[in-house]
Amino acid sequence: MKNKIEFSKEVKAGMVSAIKKYFAEERDEELGDLASALILDFITEKLGPEFYNQGVYDSYNYMSERCEDLLSIQK
């Protein structure tokens, strides 16, 4: 993917908070903001494009099915 996935400051802060909460609750580890942000950057850069591409593929399939439905109303 050529374009970098970017989030607003508010969204990124919420995701960093979610990572910190996950590590605290599930792994009993305390992470700081920097460590959590680095994990988020890794996930965004390395895994994000796969999630994005799957969303595009799912949207394409959904729209293709709806277009087929549209053809069924021809008279």
The one-letter code for the residue type at 68 is: E
Judged against a pLDDT cut of 80, whether residue 74 lies above it is answered with no
Judged against a pLDDT cut of 70, whether residue 2 lies above it is answered with no
Question: Any idea what DSSP says for residue 72?
Answer: T
Contact 46, 1 (CB under 8 A): no
Report pTM. 0.75
Judged against a pLDDT cut of 50, whether residue 42 lies above it is answered with yes
User: What are the C-alpha distances in Å from 21 to residues 6, 9, 41, 46, 75?
Assistant: 22, 18, 17, 22, 56
pLDDT category of residue 31 using cuts at 50, 70 and 90: very high
> CA 7 to CA 37: how far, in whole Å?
12
45: its two tokens? 């850069």
